[in-house]
Structure 1
């Protein structure tokens, strides 16, 4: 493999795509550039004091909802106070002098004409019929996305950020309501990022105990059939979290579990809930264990008996699931398919599964095993970039990470809005799921919009940055024949070697 091709593979297959100068910077040691990122686990974290943690976000949302209730009860006289409550609870950057959300995130562009409507909850809730300003989940969601665009642009290669994207999609949540929407960014920052180069068992526990996942899969409403809450209030068992934990997060659909195991795990996880921000000013918004909701007695899961206990019963079950051989196989195949190809080499899957098992689920070792495998570098570049990967690569190449509102609209139009897949399965990860006439036409529209924004750039210089010496003559001819620089940039973003990795 030539130096340019190896550097391109490192940047496109494992990273987020090259910026100007990146090819030259890592050409001498592409693998070393990836390993260097793995050696800095702190870089996976996203520290930003303007972004609320999950506890702060839920407190903010609860305060707003109380204001809504008061406004509806007392009507007009309370509307201004409710609006003031909403403003006072926004993140510091949103309240900075002269600091609108646009100023805090670098200046957001208005979504271009013809783009799809915003994702669920992004449509302007403006006055909501009660005289209130927009609920706090909307600006927080936008601010979280703004922070990601800056991070995705600024990282040298982006291997760690690709790992974050992979694991956030593996443990997918969706914006089913304002509560989950206001927690989406915090969920990634608190449950995913600290563990992408750590242990899978730790990430699994952090995910299943995070308020965003508990709200999304309704475990906060689950009560064991023989629990005090169920006996008094006729509350029922909810199996959503248990089913997705087995089917998606650990063993996989072919992992050998039964419906009885789903029910058993659901009972084990009863009592895993979130402290109410209205009832507990100190712990409100945090994960908590509620004994009155927990199903008493021992439980049998996958043939193993878990003695009666509190939260430790569920934590022991998750620890066993993390170490199960079926989990290693499920994770290995999904990992290889994401980075290398829709139908990855069996030898690569075997290698990754062995790494996962022997390392005790060490995710840094899993990533290292991937980039040290010859099959991961030798596979042809026929994996179609997902819409998010395409947009992030275009942002890195053109240097325009500040068009947040436009990016939100573009991701919706292409079918992959941030943190909002259609189901707990997450966004699809096969090329044919994104390869449709409508999908390609929408990408062309997005490329055209990016071309107009970045039209001052020299398209031939961008081609050199994107492809180095491997740029095809066909691509160069298309760029030179373009009627304008914006059109040339759009064509560059649509050529096969940019669309695939």
Structure 2
């Protein structure tokens, strides 16, 4: 009777074990594609927009999530099989099983007691860098940091006794609930939990090539994914971090040489295209003069936009071009602000491009003293109240530049800027103006006007900065560039741009330390970012939504067709809501998915994708609007490294031949990177 009862118990356990494998574990190993809502399906444009906006739909990239979990789940199944067999067979001499969040010291004690123990996936036991070296937390911290994610299973050998078939399930840092429960169900549940992700799950090298090209470039050319895989993605990153070693193609040099304003500096642009001083008494401009000024402004802005697009499409120094766009957006100067329309191109060439991989403090100084910025934020006419010029003015001091320098440009909106610091910085920068040179420090349209500056000591951000004319402003900028708040703000923006819209806080703090330790070395900060676990983490792959600039350029690059002109492409970008050098806000265009997914803009994106798919973009056939041969959607998908969901594949398959490429480009996979 006793033997029959035992056999019945064993049978029930086997059935329970099999039920668990079939009902819980195996479904985790089977990837089921989720149909995405395409605009052509019921619901129209709004349904497609919600599909792209909702992270619970196709944008979760169920295939990547399945790949990310697969390795750990397989390990968990091994644990299930082992412990299930132990529970079923009830080997004599195995007194009990204990499953918990065990640190290295506890496991060492178990070894000293001659216990047999099994470590589940991601378990502790390898010192400082546990979780396969990806987590970086000390073993004592795992319980509090990862919850159920790090589990060790200890099978304690000994005489059979009261503890048989029971387990001690521990939570937290060694606090035991002392729950005595039936062994098998909890072991199976715990093994599944132990199989779940612990910390970052790195993309395989083949996928990293696609990921790196998506983040460090505007998108791959045909054959570029294969090139990066062959050289190794880390070598590609190193290459992009040192753009001076990459030769500029002759085709790009010729395109830039054809632009009349590209080689002009700030002073030359003013002399050639700026307003002419009247020969007689001051008078209001005539209608013809106003129209001429507008035409000149439009011409200069159009050529600056063309230069940006030619570089984005043709330059092999893709990271440099992305950073030029990133930093211009950070220090935004809109062409609509006064004389700034003359200098949007020279502002990028002179104040930003030379410093995109240099020291942040050097770029901050170059930006702050550039005539385009001085005009934009009106510092050119600011004067200290007690200065020679200021005494004769009712409201001489202009604080706009100081306020934006403290917030948007450096410490960020959360930097707790005090009004007295704004006023102090405004006084320090008073006299930074534009005009003809008066001394050796006056270069390229910048002048320091001593008549507008009051030379006295100023307390700024808790530091007393000695009076000394222009040098006082340089010292203040160095102080700002080295602030921890500035480091966090700048690194947070870089992480948002290159990793995720919601920046991982630990990574931001790590990069902020690197920023401060290296004196704001942008190249060093980016090198650390690209080496980080978060950058290679598969959960951050394909989670960023392309801006119109990135979207349009990625299509043109992936098509691999000769481009005849790019002015029409600049007009397309304005139509899509991202006119180049035209962001009205001080902080530039928002780097957010929701901003670019407004219903009207989304519909325009779809129209652009259909035009491109048909080969009808004007940049490919200027003047006659005659569409070229339609793009091959299969080649596009391979070039861009797209992994299509079942919904996208079905939508492309069902589309008319001339619409297949357009449907692919308009799908979430085509609009993300």
Residue in structure 2 matched with residue 201 of structure 1 by the alignment? 361
| Contact preservation (8 Å) 2:211, 2:541 | no
Question: Could you list the per-position Cα deviations for residues 309-328 of structure 1 after superposition, in whole angstroms to 9, with x for gaps in the alignment?
Answer: 11100000000110111111
1:36 aligned onto 2:239: yes
1:381 aligned onto 2:542: yes
User: Which secondary structure does the structure 2 equivalent of 1:197 belong to?
Assistant: coil
| Contact preservation (8 Å) 1:275, 1:284 | no
Task: Provide TM-score, normalisation by structure 1.
Answer: 0.82
1:461 aligned onto 2:665: no
Alpha-carbon distance in structure 2 between the residues aligned to 1:350 and 1:357:
11
User: Which secondary structure does the structure 2 equivalent of 1:382 belong to?
Assistant: coil
1:392 aligned onto 2:553: yes
1:407 aligned onto 2:569: yes
**Which protein has the larger Cα radius of gyration, Structure 1 or Structure 2?**
2
Q: Residues 147-158 of structure 1 correspond to what in structure 2 (within 5 A)?
A: 147-156=307-316, 158=318
| Contact preservation (8 Å) 1:226, 1:296 | no
Residue in structure 1 matched with residue 456 of structure 2 by the alignment? 297
Alpha-carbon distance in structure 2 between the residues aligned to 1:130 and 1:248:
33
Residue in structure 1 matched with residue 668 of structure 2 by the alignment? 496
| More off after superposition, 216-225 vs 226-235 | 226-235
Alpha-carbon distance in structure 2 between the residues aligned to 1:226 and 1:139:
42
Alpha-carbon distance in structure 2 between the residues aligned to 1:70 and 1:54:
27
Note the residue ranges of structure 1 that are not aligned, 5 or more in a row. 76-126
Note the residue ranges of structure 2 that are not aligned, 5 or more in a row. 1-202, 621-627
Residue in structure 1 matched with residue 382 of structure 2 by the alignment? 222
Q: CA deviation at 1:256?
A: 3.0
Specify whether residues 131 and 232 from structure 1 end up closer, same or farther in structure 2 by C-alpha distance, changes over 3 A only. Answer: closer
| Contact preservation (8 Å) 2:384, 2:390 | yes
Residue in structure 1 matched with residue 501 of structure 2 by the alignment? 342
User: Which secondary structure does the structure 1 equivalent of 2:343 belong to?
Assistant: helix
- Residue of 310, 332, 349 corresponding to 1:189: 349
Q: Please tell me the root mean square deviation across aligned C-alpha atoms, in Å.
A: 2.9
Residue in structure 2 matched with residue 17 of structure 1 by the alignment? 219
- Residue of 587, 605, 626 corresponding to 1:443: 605
Q: CA deviation at 1:478?
A: 3.7
Task: Provide TM-score, normalisation by structure 2.
Answer: 0.62
Question: Could you list the per-position Cα deviations for residues 256-285 of structure 1 after superposition, in whole angstroms to 9, with x for gaps in the alignment?
Answer: 3201100110000000011159x99xx785
Q: Residues 244-323 of structure 1 correspond to what in structure 2 (within 5 A)?
A: 244-276=404-436, 286-323=445-482
Specify whether residues 309 and 73 from structure 1 end up closer, same or farther in structure 2 by C-alpha distance, changes over 3 A only. Answer: closer
Alpha-carbon distance in structure 2 between the residues aligned to 1:368 and 1:30:
13
| Contact preservation (8 Å) 1:146, 1:402 | no
| Contact preservation (8 Å) 2:361, 2:520 | yes
Specify whether residues 329 and 491 from structure 1 end up closer, same or farther in structure 2 by C-alpha distance, changes over 3 A only. Answer: same
Specify whether residues 471 and 256 from structure 1 end up closer, same or farther in structure 2 by C-alpha distance, changes over 3 A only. Answer: same
| More off after superposition, 179-188 vs 429-438 | 429-438
| Contact preservation (8 Å) 2:410, 2:490 | yes
Higher relative contact order (CA 8 A, sep 6+): 1
Alpha-carbon distance in structure 2 between the residues aligned to 1:167 and 1:238:
25
Q: CA deviation at 1:477?
A: 4.4
| Contact preservation (8 Å) 1:61, 1:179 | no
Q: CA deviation at 1:32?
A: 1.5
1:56 aligned onto 2:268: yes
User: Which secondary structure does the structure 2 equivalent of 1:423 belong to?
Assistant: coil
User: Which secondary structure does the structure 1 equivalent of 2:451 belong to?
Assistant: helix
Q: CA deviation at 1:489?
A: 2.8
Q: CA deviation at 1:414?
A: 1.9
Q: CA deviation at 1:337?
A: 1.1
Specify whether residues 407 and 390 from structure 1 end up closer, same or farther in structure 2 by C-alpha distance, changes over 3 A only. Answer: same
Alpha-carbon distance in structure 1 between the residues aligned to 2:655 and 2:345:
40
- Residue of 150, 173, 181 corresponding to 2:333: 173
Question: Could you list the per-position Cα deviations for residues 379-429 of structure 1 after superposition, in whole angstroms to 9, with x for gaps in the alignment?
Answer: 242221112211221221224654433222222222211122121111111
Specify whether residues 40 and 69 from structure 1 end up closer, same or farther in structure 2 by C-alpha distance, changes over 3 A only. Answer: farther
| Contact preservation (8 Å) 1:44, 1:160 | no
User: Which secondary structure does the structure 1 equivalent of 2:411 belong to?
Assistant: coil
Specify whether residues 248 and 22 from structure 1 end up closer, same or farther in structure 2 by C-alpha distance, changes over 3 A only. Answer: same
Alpha-carbon distance in structure 2 between the residues aligned to 1:129 and 1:187:
25
Alpha-carbon distance in structure 1 between the residues aligned to 2:302 and 2:502:
35
Residue in structure 1 matched with residue 210 of structure 2 by the alignment? 8
Alpha-carbon distance in structure 2 between the residues aligned to 1:233 and 1:258:
25
Residue in structure 2 matched with residue 327 of structure 1 by the alignment? 486
Question: Could you list the per-position Cα deviations for residues 45-86 of structure 1 after superposition, in whole angstroms to 9, with x for gaps in the alignment?
Answer: 998564121111112233x444899998998xxxxxxxxxxx
Residue in structure 2 matched with residue 432 of structure 1 by the alignment? 594
User: Which secondary structure does the structure 2 equivalent of 1:228 belong to?
Assistant: coil
| Contact preservation (8 Å) 1:196, 1:363 | yes
Question: Could you list the per-position Cα deviations for residues 458-499 of structure 1 after superposition, in whole angstroms to 9, with x for gaps in the alignment?
Answer: 33212211126x3455544444443243x3332222121121
| Contact preservation (8 Å) 1:459, 1:489 | yes
